[in-house]
A and B are shown apart, each in its own frame.
Chain A
Amino acid sequence: MELLSNLALGFSVALSPQTLMLAVIGCILGTMIGALPGLGPSNGVAILIPLSFSFGLDATASLVLMTSVYYGAMYGGRISSILLNIPGDEPAMMTTLDGYPMAKQGRAGDALVLSGVASFVGAFLATIGLMLLAPVLARVAFLFGPAEYFALYLLAFCTLGGIGSDNQAKAALSVCLGLGLAMVGVDSSTGLTRFTGGNLHLYDGIDFLVAIVGLFAVSEIFVFIESHGRDSSIGVRLEAVTLPLRQIWRTRWTMLRGSFIGFVAGVLPGAGASLGSFLAYMAEKSVAGEQAAFGKGEEKGVVAPEAGNNAAAGGALVPMLTLGVPGSGTTAVLLALLMTLNITPGPLLFQERPDVVWGLIASLLIANIVLLILNVPMVKLFSRVLQVPAAILLPSVAMISFVGIYSLSGSYFDLLLMIAFGVLGYFLRKLSIPTVPVILGILLGGHMEVSLRRAMVLSDGDWTFLFSTPIAVGLWIAAVLGFVAPLVLRRFLSVKALIDDQAK
């Protein structure tokens, strides 16, 4: 009953004309951003955040707008995967494996519709999962003290680093870089300035939005300048789009399985949508056995990863909202949005600001229906977006990033810092050092240090306090496993190896 009254509250917020309009705008923008190669959910949301502030939206409104963009980009990512064989964003990578072969066989329309419906099923079920699971987890989160929070942050860094990189040393390096940058500025508990080098601009610390836009959007410009002309792939023409009802019915179990796997992968801190779509695809491949033509245009090979990555996108919101620990790069960006809006995610959010939480959940349910309409009957319209040449797209991204950051602070120093982060991001990507842990480090570094110091105050400097409760011990074990297990499993579970395998 509580759930129903909460939902009623949520819909009363979400159905106000302004919120509804923002959700629709967010869905359209998001689908376009997702479809554009080189722009994905994380950098798309990143460049829009500063603008939504200068637009003067309130907390609920900007959260609704940005999560609609996020969901929309997850839907849109499949369009360029299928038509161009270039994933619009990283989680859509698995969709290229069977989507592009289907398109080459003249079934591009079917592939787009099937994956659109799968996206809807995945995202819708995940939103319902979020609705059911988040309040429960929020109640568990009340048991968390500083020792547990410290272990939880550690777990997030370990799993995100462990899974996101092929080299644990590089993952650790990237986490430390982020944590180190988070230390710059005034230390909150003693008022001492640290690592500023006497530069007044740095006393407030490094604004994480500057770092995010630099690492995600500006570095993309450099990568494009380097690769210009090389990634020219032959696009597939999209003929008439029909509704392949029989194929949708035939893949119904695949959709449900993919959604479930994706949701679980999304909820785990640090794992995220790429893992969700990967696991969903692999599971479906092993369920189908040898007779299915995976990699050669199998319908289930399009449906499974799309259901998986969209469900993971919803799942990743669970730890972000209840514990303040994002499960992926984009939810890290959304966390940055919340922190700038002065909303502290965590169990108290559910008690003190139910309008924000349930308004968001109701908006996501509405956004999913809008996205289904945009992505199935109107998919042809959005496939036009692919014709925007990089020589126009990338300068626009650059200018929007600059104006966004400039409108936040009006300082040339932040713009220079953003360029520096762009250059850093370029080098990190070249060296295959993951960039998401850097962001997470900058976002959570302060909290992590504070919880460690609080734990030490409570225990008067006794380190064993960190392992004093079963929850904390469990989190520590999970953290160590999350960092070490990929070393062992990598041989069996490598996305790269699989892609190379299929390419042969």
Chain B
Amino acid sequence: MSDRLTGLLTIIVALAFFAGAMQLEQPFFADPLGPKRFPMFVSAIALVAGVMLVLRPDAEPQWPARATILRLLLAVCVLSLYAFGLRPLGFVLPTALAAGVISYQIKADWRAAGLTGICLSAGLFIIFKFGLGLGLFALPRWLHG
């Protein structure tokens, strides 16, 4: 089933990509092939691969249980928030939180996870800032003045 769905998704994306390529204008001074032909070839091959997947899927992979899926979603959310927070909030705080949460997702031990987060955040900051000389801010910008 997973393979069939992947195949279906591939077919849709390939068709969209093909349509997108068709709509590119062909500048009159362009080379004989132009900017649209190569993407069209690529999507045609992807289309064939998608059809093959729908027709002849492999055995079903083992998907994780619902609890694990939730944990994975949480990890994605935390990392995304980290991506947004890194600039305004400085390095130390978001890193400690994100590292702690990821650590907890792998081994459910609050104390160890908290310690991992704090030590990683401090240790990496020292290495990156003073060892490698990256321009990082430890704390939120407004605290630096």
Tell me the smallest distance from the CB of A197 to a CB of chain B, in Å.
9
Q: Which of B1-54 contact A (CB under 8 A)?
A: 2-3, 6-7, 10, 14, 17, 20-21, 24-25, 27, 30-35, 38-39, 42-43, 45-46, 48-50, 52-53
Q: What residues on B are CB-neighbors of A172 within 8 Å?
A: 45-46, 48-49
Contact A195 B112 (CB under 8 A): no
Q: What residues on B are CB-neighbors of A226 within 8 Å?
A: 64, 68, 72
Contact B116 A412 (CB under 8 A): no
Whose C-beta in chain B lies nearest to the C-beta of A169? B52
Q: Which of B91-117 contact A (CB under 8 A)?
A: 91, 95, 98-100, 102-107, 109, 112-113, 116-117
Contact A55 B132 (CB under 8 A): yes
- Bound complex: CA A201 to CA B56 (Å): 38
Contact A398 B98 (CB under 8 A): yes
Contact B46 A180 (CB under 8 A): yes
- Bound complex: CA A35 to CA B25 (Å): 52
- Bound complex: CA A276 to CA B26 (Å): 46
- Bound complex: CA A226 to CA B2 (Å): 18
A-side interface mostly: helix
Stretch in contact with the other chain, from A96-104, A183-191, A285-293, A314-322: A183-191
The contact size tier of chain A is 35 or more
Q: Which of B52-102 contact A (CB under 8 A)?
A: 52-53, 56, 58, 61, 63-64, 68, 71-72, 75-76, 79-80, 82-84, 86-87, 91, 95, 98-100, 102
B interface residues, tally (CB under 8 Å): 71
- Bound complex: CA A430 to CA B110 (Å): 29
- Bound complex: CA A54 to CA B6 (Å): 38
With A391-B113, A453-B38 in contact, is A403–B124 under 8 Å at CB?
yes
- Out of B6, B17, B49, B52, name the residue touching A195 (CB < 8 Å): B17
Tell me the smallest distance from the CB of A22 to a CB of chain B, in Å.
14
- Out of A399, A407, A416, name the residue touching B95 (CB < 8 Å): A399
- Out of A390, A396, A460, name the residue touching B32 (CB < 8 Å): A460
> Counting CB contacts under 8 A, is A240 at the interface?
no
- Bound complex: CA A213 to CA B78 (Å): 18
Stretch in contact with the other chain, from A65-73, A217-225, A299-307: A217-225
> Counting CB contacts under 8 A, is B120 at the interface?
yes
Contact A169 B39 (CB under 8 A): no
With A403-B134, A431-B2 in contact, is A173–B116 under 8 Å at CB?
no
A residues within 8 Å of B by Cβ?
A: 51, 54-56, 166-170, 172-173, 175-177, 179-180, 183, 187, 189-190, 192, 194-195, 218, 221-222, 224-226, 228-229, 389-392, 394-396, 398-400, 402-403, 406-407, 410, 412, 415-416, 419, 422-423, 426, 430-433, 448-449, 452-454, 456-457, 460-461
B residues within 8 Å of A by Cβ?
A: 2-3, 6-7, 10, 14, 17, 20-21, 24-25, 27, 30-35, 38-39, 42-43, 45-46, 48-50, 52-53, 56, 58, 61, 63-64, 68, 71-72, 75-76, 79-80, 82-84, 86-87, 91, 95, 98-100, 102-107, 109, 112-113, 116-117, 120-121, 124, 128, 132-136
Q: Which 7 A-B pairs have the closest CB atoms?
A: A415-B83, A169-B52, A176-B46, A461-B32, A391-B107, A395-B99, A172-B49
